[in-house]
Every structure is written in structure tokens, then in C-alpha cells.
A and B are shown apart, each in its own frame.
Chain A
Amino acid sequence: MKKVSAIPENLFAYAQACTHGAEELQSWVRAVVTPAIRDYQKGGGVCSPIDADVAAEVAKAYYTDREVHLVGEAFQRAGTGTARPGAKQQYLARDSAVDAALIQLDPAADHHGAMNDGAALAHSLSKFPDAEEAAQIAAELATHSGDPFFAAGFYNSVSAAQIAQLMSQDGNIRALAGAYASGVLSSSAAARVVQVLGWIQGDASPQHFHITAAQQRSLLVALTADPQAAANFTRDLTAPQIRKLFYGEAAGLSPAFRIDLVTLLTAGMRQINDPAQAQATMRHISGGLFADDAPKFGANDVKQLLTPLMALYSAGVAHSMKLPDGTVPRDWAAAYGKTVGGELAPLLRAMNAVDTNPKNALIKNMLQGGYVNVLFMPLAVLQPEAIGGPLAFNAAVGALQSLASSQDPLKVRVDRLIPSGTHADTAAMNDMIAGGAKSLMISSMVSHGLLYEKGHSTPLRFTGDSQKDSELVKAILDPKNQYKYHTKASSKEPVAYVRDLKDAYDPAELEEALRSLGSPTYEVK
């Protein structure tokens, strides 16, 4: 594709001069013209609101000119400089690269008009809107339902009290989910929404407006239903915010709240495909839920929440996986294991701390029901692209299912999980999730053509027949075959057998997980 030229210094100069001019004009209009028109009108005169018209048009010009500066920056990031001694630096870049860099610099780049219009609607709202006004707003937002940037501009400019009142209308709740999906909802707006989520009817404080449990649920469900909204909500949530939502009064007052919240976070996590971002998000979540200074989890909490929490952590683990990238295979497997173990540690530690003694039978039953669904469910709904194609996933799921049923009847497994008189056997729980991660690791490698059968020179590949593919993964993971499959030798290291990869993975994973548990009850296999 042909490259285009720009001289960023000139773009910066243009933007500087023109935005300065716009700001000066705006200030003067606000300070002089608006009062002059008001005074004239008070004195009996008739005058159209030309000050507002001018303000709107100057604002448009301002954003157009401001974007010129951002384009200059985009060229600097995306382009290559040319040699022009004595002249201002020129950059050449592909159009598409400039576009991409611009969106990174300002996600709202092409949407300022819509956002301004949304903000204008917000400014027309009264401080404490009543039901009728809330309905009017809902109708207005509905006419812009195809433009989430309008909704974002609106919600960026409303107060927490206004948000609480607006939530009496379902249309406003749906528009809020749309605003999250746009990606340009400000962090202060998001903080206000979190605040409002905690203002549930029935709490001790009369100092602020309240929402009902049904409205609270409605928002969480709307966010969960929109993958982009869920992802943005989850990604932007801080640890203190999660802590407050999860352990605050609101959670105590509406029983389904925590489950809905964890479900939302899981939906969001499934959209976060960048491993670094997924890990950072899991850190926030664990920091909020299970850090040392967090409230303790009780046996009742476990009963309600273990299944959704395992789904969340399984999704987090799966999305934190980095694809094989040419790193030495043993190192890659070890890093993989370390990530899995590290991420699971907070959950395992919290479960370990739960005193299950009097309730063994209950927990046992719940876990038994939970495992069948939880272990396989997150694998089944993960985005295939995250780990290297649909073939890899299906194979992983298939292998895992048949591995679990052939090696150990589930009941025996669960009995081992909670031997009577002791704590929940979280090592075994760790094992089950880690087993899933291992099978995904192997499938990723096959998808990328990185594993060979001994004596064959072409790499193993999936066929598309899900039965055959899952048999292959199962065979690779089977201890009997530990020296049958291997990676290719490279200049960096000799052949690594699957046995070696598992060896690199297991200790790293277990070590990371056990380090947080600090208990001598667990056997290092």
C-alpha cells in the first residue's frame, strides 16, 4: 500500500494556533455575549440564542483542529522519518497505520460530535430528575440507540444521583450498557456507576438516592449480555471497587448480587484476549476478593459462589496464556505453569481457609455437581482465537472429558477432595484446573505445528475430526507416551519431550500455588 507524507511540526503549529483562537473566542462569547443577550431579553427584547449557536460551531472547529495535532502524533508513531537535512522532519506512513495509531491516541477520535450531543442532553437534565424526566431521557436515548458514543457522552456528564434516578427506566439501563461498550466512558463516570450499584434500597444510609435490587440486577445483566461492555467494565474495575461491591452492604441486601457480579466479570474476562491485560485484570480481581486484608470467606459463601468463581478463574487462567512464540519450549511450559499457578493461588488460599468441617457432606455434594460443569464449561465457551483455533479447543475439551472419566471415576475424585475431618483438598482442585490448562497448552502447540511423533519428520496436526483430535491430545498427555512426542531440536536446545514439558510445567505451577497455601498437608507429586 502506498505511503503518504506529513510534516508533524506543521500540523502541531496549525493545531496550536487554531485551538488557541477557538478557546479565546469561546471565552469571550461566554463572558460578554451571553450576559448581553440575557440582559437584553430581561429588558423586554427578543433575541435568538446566537451565543449557543456560535459555541456549538466553534466547538466543532476546535475538535477538528485538535485532531490535526493527534494526526501529527500518529504519523510520528506509525511512520518512518525521511532524511531532509535543514528542513522540518517529514514522516511517511501507510494510511491504515496512521488511522490505527490515531484511534490508539484517542478512541473518541471520530465521535466527538455524538459525544458532545450526548453531553448537551446531560446538561439539560435537572439535578434530581423525577420519573417523568427519566422516561423522557429514556425515549431520547432510544433514538440514538445505534450510537453508543452519544450514550457515553451523556453518561460521562451525569452525577451519581442522576444515574440512580435514571435507572428507574430500563431504556436508560440499556443505554448505559451501550456507553460501556463504546469504550469511551470515563473512569470517573464508571466510578459513579459503581457507587450507584452500592446504593441498594434498604441500606442504612438515607443520605443518597437508592436503586432497587431489580434495577441493580438489570444493569449487571445488560452489561453481561454485551461482550464489549462486559469486557470494558471488567477491565476498568479497580481492586478497591471490587472489594466494595463484593463485601459491601449492597451484596448483603440482594442475595443474587454476588453471583451476578462474578458472572459479569467472567463474561468480561472471556473477551480479554491480550494475555498481559488478562493477567492484570485477574490481579485486580484477586486483590479485591481475596487479598490478606479482605473479609474472610465463610462456608455459606463457598456454597453459593464456588462454581461461579471457578468459572471466572478458569477463564482468567485460559486467557492469560501466551501462545508459543519461539521461546525455548521448556521455558515456555514453565512460564505457562507459573502463570496458571500464580493466578489460581488467591482462590485456592481462600478456599483453603474455609472451615468446612461441620458441613462436609453439603460442600462435597456441591463440589461434585460443580466440577462436572465448571471444569469443562469454561473450556467450551472460550474464544477459540485466544489459543490457536477452534480445532485446538475442541480437542482439548474432548481429551479432558475422556481423561477424567477413564482415569478416575468422578466420585472417587471428589471423595479425595474432601476427606472427612480435614480442610477441602484444594491441591486436587488445583490439579483439575491445571489439568485443563495443560491440555490447552498441548493443543496450542499442536495447532502451531510444534509437536512431532518420534520417528516422523512432519509435525502433528489436527484433522478437524473432533473425535480423532481429542484422542490425539489424550494420547500426548498419557504418561505411557511421555517419550513418544517431542518438540523439534533447535540451536537453542535439544529435543524436549512432552514429559519434559510437563516436568517444567508441573513444579512451576504447583510451586506457585503452594507457596501461597503454605501448608504441609499437600503432597508434591
Chain B
Amino acid sequence: MSSFDFEAADWLSRQLVQLAAKIEWFAWLRDQQQKKMLGTSDSDNWQGSRRQQFDDKFSGEQAALGQLAQAARQLKSNVDTAIGEAHAEAQRKRHH
């Protein structure tokens, strides 16, 4: 097996945590701004058919962002598993 780059794996694992956090922060930002600046769909801030279209797009995008944050966490967990396996492999090699 070719040598596993532990440094790169470790770095990626940590960036994936960051990625999940940043995606969630971005989604939170949009949510907060939407409530504060746009209000409900019938408030004076913004009404009409374009508002409806925005609301639909917005909720779809927020859901997708949430899923991506999850995916980032899952990926981190996969990377961590790979790191663990690579360590174990390296251990086995040393004891032969």
C-alpha cells in the first residue's frame, strides 16, 4: 500500500469541521437577515409574487445547505476512519 499522507489527512479532517461550521453559520446568517429585514411574506417589507418565489427558493437552498453541512461531517468521519485504519496498518507493518 502506498504511503498514507497523515499530515494531509489530519489537515483535511480539521478543515471539514470548519467547513460544516461555516456552512451552518452562512445558513444562520441568511435566516437571521431574512427574519429581521424581510419579515413574514405578508409584511410591508416585501410582498407579492416575487416574494413567494424568493421564499420557495430560500427554503430549498437552506435545506440543501443543511444537508451539505451534514455531508461535511460525514466526510470528516470517513477521513478519521481512514486515518485510524492507516495507523493500524502502519502498526502491523512495524511488528513484522
Footprint of B on A, CB under 8 Å? 4-7, 10-11, 13-14, 17-18, 21-22, 25, 28-29, 32-33, 36-37, 39-40, 42-48, 50, 53-54, 57-58, 60-61, 64-65, 67-68, 71, 90, 95, 98-99, 102
Which residues on the B side are within 8 Å of A45 (C-beta)? 4-5, 8-9, 12, 79, 82
**Chain B nearest Cβ from A378, distance in angstroms:** 42
CB–CB A99/B12 < 8 A: no
Question: In this complex, what residue of A is CB-closest to B29?
Answer: A21
Closest A-B pairs by Cβ, 7 of them: A43-B5, A4-B48, A14-B37, A4-B47, A39-B8, A10-B37, A40-B12
**Chain B nearest Cβ from A336, distance in angstroms:** 41
CB–CB A11/B37 < 8 A: yes
Q: Could you tell me which residues of chain B, from 1 to 38, have a CB within 8 Å of some CB in chain A?
A: 1-5, 8-9, 11-12, 15-16, 18-19, 22-23, 26, 29-30, 33-34, 37-38
Secondary structure at the B interface, as helix, strand, loop or mixed, is: helix
Which residues on the B side are within 8 Å of A22 (C-beta)? 26
**Chain A nearest Cβ from B90, distance in angstroms:** 12
The CA-CA distance from A60 to B62 in the complex, in Å, is: 11
The CA-CA distance from A32 to B14 in the complex, in Å, is: 11
Does B49 count as interface, using CB distance less than 8 angstroms? Answer: yes
Task: List 17 interface pairs A-B (beta carbons < 8 Å), by A numbering.
Answer: A4-B48, A5-B44, A21-B26, A22-B26, A25-B23, A33-B15, A39-B8, A42-B5, A42-B8, A43-B8, A53-B68, A57-B64, A61-B61, A68-B38, A71-B50, A98-B48, A99-B50
The CA-CA distance from A42 to B3 in the complex, in Å, is: 10
The CA-CA distance from A102 to B30 in the complex, in Å, is: 22
Among candidates A13, A57, A102, residue contacting B50 with C-beta atoms closer than 8 Å: A102
Say yes or no: A11-B46 contact (C-beta < 8 A), given A43-B8, A45-B12.
Answer: yes
Which residues on the A side are within 8 Å of B54 (C-beta)? 64, 67-68, 71
The CA-CA distance from A361 to B46 in the complex, in Å, is: 72
Question: In this complex, what residue of B is CB-closest to A65?
Answer: B30
Among candidates B3, B38, B58, B71, residue contacting A44 with C-beta atoms closer than 8 Å: B3
**Chain B nearest Cβ from A25, distance in angstroms:** 5
CB–CB A44/B47 < 8 A: no
CB–CB A29/B30 < 8 A: no
CB–CB B79/A40 < 8 A: yes
The CA-CA distance from A65 to B23 in the complex, in Å, is: 16
The CA-CA distance from A58 to B64 in the complex, in Å, is: 10
Among candidates B3, B12, B33, B71, residue contacting A14 with C-beta atoms closer than 8 Å: B33
Does B57 count as interface, using CB distance less than 8 angstroms? Answer: yes
Q: How many residues of B contact A (CB 8 A)?
A: 43
CB–CB B37/A13 < 8 A: yes
Does B40 count as interface, using CB distance less than 8 angstroms? Answer: no
Which residues on the B side are within 8 Å of A18 (C-beta)? 29-30, 33
Which residues on the A side are within 8 Å of B9 (C-beta)? 40, 43, 45
**Chain A nearest Cβ from B48, distance in angstroms:** 4
Which residues on the A side are within 8 Å of B1 (C-beta)? 44
Which residues on the B side are within 8 Å of A71 (C-beta)? 46, 50, 54
Which residues on the A side are within 8 Å of B4 (C-beta)? 43-45
Secondary structure at the A interface, as helix, strand, loop or mixed, is: helix
Question: In this complex, what residue of B is CB-closest to A87?
Answer: B44
Q: Could you tell me which residues of chain B, from 41 to 96, have a CB within 8 Å of some CB in chain A?
A: 44-51, 54, 57-58, 61, 64-65, 68, 71-72, 75, 78-79, 82
Among candidates B16, B29, B58, residue contacting A17 with C-beta atoms closer than 8 Å: B29
CB–CB B15/A32 < 8 A: yes
**Chain B nearest Cβ from A87, distance in angstroms:** 9
**Chain A nearest Cβ from B11, distance in angstroms:** 6
**Chain A nearest Cβ from B55, distance in angstroms:** 10
**Chain A nearest Cβ from B87, distance in angstroms:** 14
**Chain A nearest Cβ from B62, distance in angstroms:** 8
Question: In this complex, what residue of B is CB-closest to A43?
Answer: B5
The CA-CA distance from A64 to B15 in the complex, in Å, is: 27
Which residues on the B side are within 8 Å of A40 (C-beta)? 5, 8-9, 11-12, 79
**Chain B nearest Cβ from A183, distance in angstroms:** 20
Among candidates B12, B22, B46, residue contacting A47 with C-beta atoms closer than 8 Å: B12
**Chain B nearest Cβ from A374, distance in angstroms:** 48
CB–CB B61/A64 < 8 A: yes
Which residues on the A side are within 8 Å of B12 (C-beta)? 36-37, 39-40, 45, 47
CB–CB A14/B34 < 8 A: yes
The CA-CA distance from A71 to B33 in the complex, in Å, is: 16
The CA-CA distance from A28 to B51 in the complex, in Å, is: 30
The CA-CA distance from A40 to B9 in the complex, in Å, is: 6
Question: In this complex, what residue of A is CB-closest to B32?
Answer: A17
The CA-CA distance from A42 to B9 in the complex, in Å, is: 10
CB–CB A98/B50 < 8 A: yes
Which residues on the A side are within 8 Å of B5 (C-beta)? 39-40, 42-45
**Chain A nearest Cβ from B94, distance in angstroms:** 18
The CA-CA distance from A42 to B68 in the complex, in Å, is: 24
CB–CB A50/B57 < 8 A: no
